Amino acid sequence: MATLFDQIENQIADTQSTVHHVTALLAGLDNRPQDWEYTGNVYDSGPYSNAECCCGHPIRYMFEVKDTKSGCTTNLGSTCIDHYKAYRPCDAELMEKHLAALLEKQAAVRKAAQAVARQEKVIAAAERYKALRQQVEDRHWANRRASRRSPYDVWAIVESCRGFLPLDALAYVEHTYVRACDSVKWIEKQVARMERALEL
């Protein structure tokens, strides 16, 4: 367990680190932080970028600030917004809003991409289904033309009321299931059934 002395030492170390950080930030803003306004531009430099805050810290989300005197621009990281806030609270508030909006947008994009991936899985399963279903169809009618009886499983898929399978699975699953995973599950089950019927 940390002693009181340890705790005080840790607090001192934290404070020193903050002082060091804020000093670097102020130096990065020419010791006139009040003159650097937020341009409204926030960028995601990506998870593995070499982007840096003007304090020297590596950052991912970069907020562009502009010196109203010289027109120079530099970037702040999200941690430094907290320190910058003391000088330009309205700008810092806007930065926080923009960051929240950016994160929300990125989450929506990720979600949409996942939905597309799930749909692609359904389409791939349905393609295999369609090919097998056509084979079952061809097998059955070839038997009928040759006056042969189809095996029960083949007949059932093509002609029975209970075991009948549509030629195309997509329209069926779209009307039956809400979740893509349930659609895939149903299609895969029928694929296995047709493989058995065809003795593949």
Residues forming the site for Zn ion (CB under 5 A) = 53, 55, 57, 77, 80
Cβ 31 to Zn ion shortest distance, Å? 15
Alpha carbon distance 90, 167 (integer Å): 62
Phi, psi of 52 (to 5 degrees): -130, 150
Q: How far apart are CA 164 and CA 76, in angstroms?
A: 64
Element (H, E) at 36: strand 36-44
Residue 77 CB, nearest approach to Zn ion (Å):
4
Of 29 and 157, CB closest to Zn ion: 29
Asked whether 134 and 195 are in contact (CB, 8 A), the reply is no
Closer by beta carbon to Zn ion, 24 or else 123: 24
Residue 151 corresponds to which amino acid? P
Q: Which is nearer to Zn ion, 57 or 60 (CB)?
A: 57
Residue nearest to Zn ion (CB): 53
We find the least distance from the C-beta atom of residue 94 to Zn ion, in angstroms, to be 18
In the complex, the smallest distance separating the C-beta of residue 82 from Zn ion, rounded to whole angstroms, is 9
Shorter beta-carbon distance to Zn ion: residue 76 or 158: 76
Helices (H) and strands (E) in the chain, counts: 6, 3
